[in-house]
Amino acid sequence: MLAALSIILATFLWALDTLIRYPLVGQGMSAQSLVFIEHMILVTLFLPSLLKNRFKFWNEQVSTLFYFFIIGGMGSALATVAFTKAFTLLNPSLVILLQKLQPIVVIGLARIFLKEQIRAGFWPWAAVALFGSFLISYEDIFPTLSQLDFSHDFVSRSSLFGYLLALIAVVSWASATVFGKKLTAKGFSTTDLMGGRFFFGLFVMIPLVAFQTGPFWGNFDLLDSVSKIAIMVVLSGILGMFFYYWGLKKTSARMSSLLELFFPLFAVALNWIFLGRELGIMQIIGAALLLLSSFVIRWKHY
């Protein structure tokens, strides 16, 4: 149960991160610049650990380094940039809706790469968890979807690119969960996982930043922006990933993916607290279903 609570705590920290991340992007900072600066700070902080364990990483098999590339290059760098960029091309509600596909992708990849056996009782409760997560976002997603112009919003070139980016983020995050689990099974510590993740994330971010269009920084106050990014680094980068990987060591990849659905719940709750957007009855019901299904799956060891 502590492992599940650890992952839930990580999703809460990720939700706190959004209170800073999306305002910065909304003010004009590019997704590439923001994610690059995050990873540069994180790699600097983890540099002593990376240098200490450099021979350990160097002597690993190519497959192990590939796993680190997936959790870092794809899960930490590419997915974050793609998801953030998708918000500028699509209605944010559509991006959130597509993100709900992530547990399905994780379950499929875990069955293939981790050989996780899925008991029959898992499926109905997984469906309840997914349904609960939809209800949590109901008041943001469905009223907005009803106002979309289907002849334009769904088929324009920018929209298609937005869908592609959102799906890249979903597959990348799902892959990072599965291959992060593989690395925990190989005996890597939480510190090793975090250091390797951020290093490979920075490695992938360098060309993404080098070839981006527009200015690197923009018209931002340097001190104010760096201080906000530093807070994000602590919340989602250090604390969030520490609790996530600690919990992932002790739970299945499929269970972890369902627990990650607490992220929209916390995001909605924080909007209520800081932006005055009250929770509706649908969101309360969704939260109850998500809590119930997660508890049953954990209790029954599905």
**Tens of each residue's pLDDT in the chain, 302 residues:** 788 899 999 999 998 988 888 788 777 788 888 889 999 999 999 999 888 888 777 777 888 889 999 999 999 899 988 988 887 777 666 677 677 778 888 888 988 898 888 777 778 888 888 888 777 766 655 555 555 555 555 556 777 788 889 889 989 999 999 999 999 988 888 999 999 999 999 999 999 888 876 666 666 666 778 888 899 999 999 999 999 999 999 888 888 888 888 887 787 788 777 766 666 777 778 778 877 887 777 666 65
Helix (H, G, I), strand (E, B), or coil: what is residue 137?
coil
Give the position of tokens 């309360």: 284
Tell me the C-alpha to C-alpha distance, in Å, between residue 161 and each of 33, 157, 256. Answer: 20, 6, 29
* pLDDT, position 225: 80
Give the integer Cα–Cα distance in Å for 256 and 181. Answer: 10
pLDDT of residue 43: 94
What gap in Å lies between CA 288 and CA 282, rounded to an integer?
10
d(CA 67, CA 48): 22
**pLDDT at residue number 147:** 56
pLDDT score for 285: 83
pLDDT at 102: 84
Show the DSSP H helices in 27-77 as ranges.
Answer: 31-52, 54-58, 62-69
Which residue carries 């056996």 as its tokens? 117
Alpha-carbon distance 110 to 90, whole Å? 30
Output the pLDDT for position 222.
67
Vertex 252, ends 249 and 254: CA angle to 5°?
135
Please give the Cα distance from 3 to 231 (Å, whole number): 25
Q: 3-class DSSP state for residue 209? A: helix
Smallest CA-to-CA distance from 254 within 166, 174, 165 is with 174
Helix-strand-coil split of the chain, %, nearest 5: 80, 0, 20
Range of the domain at 32: 2-300
Using DSSP's 3-state secondary structure scheme, residue 230 falls into: helix
Tally of domains in the chain: 1
pLDDT at position 226: 83
Residue 73: the pLDDT is 93
Give the model's pLDDT for residue 47: 92
The per-residue pLDDT for 195 is: 92
Q: How far is CA 274 from the centre of its chain?
A: 22
